[in-house]
Amino acid sequence: MDEVFKALADASRRRLLDSLNARNGQSLRELCAGLDMARQSVSKHLAVLEAADLVTTVWRGREKLHYLNAAPINAIAERWIDQYDRERVRALADLKTALELAPMAGNAFAYTTYINTTPERLWQALTDPAFTRRYWGVAFETDWKAGSPMIWDERGAKTADPAQVVLESEPCRRLSYTWHTFTPEWAEAAGVSDEVLTKVAEERRSKVTFEIEPLGQMVKLTVVHDGFEPGSTVLEMVGEGWPQLLSDLKTLLETGEPLPTPDRVGQGA
């Protein structure tokens, strides 16, 4: 937590976070151009932000893209801001509010969390239907091989489509698949209105990728959900659903306590 406060103490680093909050998934070149800062300075500031887990990076070919990670801000808010009403934390509170109100500016969602578990156990939590039902309310019917079809079973509503497939599958390391199809059956089970269903059904299909990295006795989990259109309604929905879902996943793995039946299917995550 000290690293987070140190990172936020610098105005230039706050500008970088503001830039990513306005448009997520920028390259180093784009950040330099947008902020009129020297490349070397931006690189140094980004290194500090990455060390504090305020920025998550994802490689796309030879290009390194930077995403704002709201998890440390939310952790500070839960420990400090929600307990104290002091002027000195108002700026941080404003930043938290901005992240919550516009978490997915840009065309991708990226989130990093650290879980006290093993890669094997986390992989099971992402793929085993008995496990995914506990924190997600979803069961996947697939063999988890690249190219294999996936059937999503949410609250008894099964969704299948030829384009609903596993994209990458490296057990305990990396998992990627296309997002589910938005059907009337899914909308009814999720409590989604006809108006919203029409919007999301017209958007192109997105995909989600889980990257698993062991770090001592913990595991670093990075989730990237991308492939959205500009102004995507689906992106807005998953941006609200993923943080809570991943928090529930972390709690279940670390405590083993059963969780209440999830009620976020209508948010797309």
Q: Which domain holds residue 66?
A: 2-106
Give the helix, strand, coil percentages of the chain, each rounded to 5: 45, 25, 30
- Do the beta carbons of residue 54 and residue 69 sit within 8 Å? yes
Count of structural domains, the chain: 2
133 shares its domain with 206 = yes
Whether residue 120 is found in the same domain as residue 251: yes
Same domain? 140 vs 240: yes
Return the pLDDT at 223: 93
Output the pTM of the full model.
0.68
pLDDT at position 260 is: 57
> What backbone phi and psi angles, to 5 degrees, belong to 222?
-115, 125
* Predicted pLDDT at 104: 43
User: Which of 106, 140, 155 represents a domain boundary (last residue)?
Assistant: 106
Please indicate, yes or no, whether residues 86 and 142 belong to a single structural domain of this protein: no
Rounded to an integer, what distance in angstroms lies between the CA atom of residue 159 and that of residue 149?
11
Which of 106, 121, 155 is at the close of a domain?
106
CATH number for the domain that contains residue 132: 3.30.530.20
- Regarding whether 254 and 121 lie in a shared domain, the answer is yes
Beta strand 174-178 pairing with 207-215? antiparallel
| Structure token pair of residue 212 | 């698993």
Q: Quick one: 224 exposed, middle or buried, by C-beta within 10 A (0-12, 13-18, 19+)?
A: buried
SS3 48: helix
Q: Which of 106, 122, 152 is the last residue of a domain?
A: 106
DSSP code string of 61-121: TTEEEEEE--HHHHHHIIIIITT---GGGHHHHHHHHHHHHSTT-SSEEEEEEEESS-HHH
What is the predicted pLDDT for the residue at 115? 92
**Tokens coding 84:** 């104290």
Helices (H) and strands (E) in the chain, counts: 11, 10
CB 110 within 8 A of CB 58: yes
Q: What is the DSSP letter of 142?
A: S
Q: Give the CATH number of the domain where residue 85 resides.
A: 1.10.10.10
H or E element at residue 159: strand 157-159
pLDDT profile of the chain (269 residues), mean per 10: 82 87 84 85 91 85 84 63 48 46 61 92 96 93 97 90 97 97 90 92 95 91 91 87 87 78 46
